[in-house]
Amino acid sequence: MKKLAVVAFGGNALLRAKQKGTIDEQESNVYETCENLLPLIKNGYDLVIGHGNGPQVGNILLSNAAGAKVYGLPEMPLDVCGAYSQGFIGYIIEQQLRNVLEKNNMERDILTLVTEVLVDKNDPAFTNPTKPIGPYYTDEEVEVLKKNTTDTFAKDPKGNGWRKVVASPKPIKIGNQKSIEKLARDGNIVVTVGGGGIPVFYVEPNKLQGIDAVIDKDLASSLLASQIHADEFYILTDVPNVCLNFNTPNEVRLETITVAEAKNYLQDKQFTEGSMAPKVRAAVAFVENGGKECIITEAKQLSNPKAGTRIIK
């Protein structure tokens, strides 16, 4: 049986620092990232691709707010905005990956699935929302919003104003996982669990409903990789290796580490929250749940079989 790999695209796969986020920029970035997948494809891997959606869903929320303010349009909730972003980002990835394949005289069907992810409505994260989303608000604007909504807001530490904050619960189950695995093992490349998936919960038995939350994309991709029995899990980021003492004169690049070592480094706070720490946790979760290894690296390193930081049992 061919190897099955889940590849989680990092944020710079779509949008990079100092870019505005035009469609031309995003298509160019995605094309370059997809070119780097060629070594896996040429080696016969079955592939599933996950991706982030932070800037994109933020822009959708801004459009929402502007449409409501100027034209009186009804604002869509966060789960629906997440679905919007899954569709258009999946379209970009499908198109640019197909361009890469055709240039290299290769043919694979590429499918995008809008993906729900089950969360627990009693997850402690819902009592402590911390994930900032959407536009910035002034002191005056946020006072009005607090009176007219049940949303929670937090002040930006960089002094840019206030932002809505939502929970980031743990994913429990990826929707359509059996179909995702079958499609991938049949040779199709599947784009799924975009932005960590659309968080849903059981509002009552046998009735799912969306909820205002953001699931960590790497953790969701890790769970998907485990649930579809992937052999390998790749987390693509903007550095070639996970490092100790990152960005200091004592920086040490990690090559192969065990789950136990990774946990010790996490406990010692070697990795930054909101950056490398969640990626390492996602890698640990995959290996602990039966995966062979997780590789954290930048996309252009995929042609090197010894590249990146490998987390093994």
The residues that are catalytic are: 11-12, 131, 217, 279
**How far is residue 238's CA from residue 233's CA, in Å, rounded to a whole number?**
17
Sequence letter at residue 51 = H
Tokens found for residue 126? 């819902």
CA nearest to 97, candidates 299, 283, 307: 299
Rounded to whole angstroms, how far apart are CA atoms 134 and 66?
Answer: 12
Among the listed residues 55, 52, 58, 2, the one whose alpha carbon sits nearest the alpha carbon of residue 189: 2
Q: How many CA atoms lie within 13 A of 224 on its CB side?
A: 39
Distance CA 178, CA 190 (A): 12
Distances (CA, A) of 247 to 186, 200, 236, 253, 275: 43, 38, 19, 11, 13
d(CA 88, CA 14): 12
Cβ burial 107-133 (10 Å sphere, 16+ → b, else e): eeebbbbbbbbbbeeebebbeebebbb
Burial of 8 (0-12, 13-18, 19+ CB in 10 A): buried
Query: How far apart are alpha carbons 213 and 77 in whole angstroms?
Result: 10
Give CA–CA dist 77/210, Å, rounded. Answer: 9
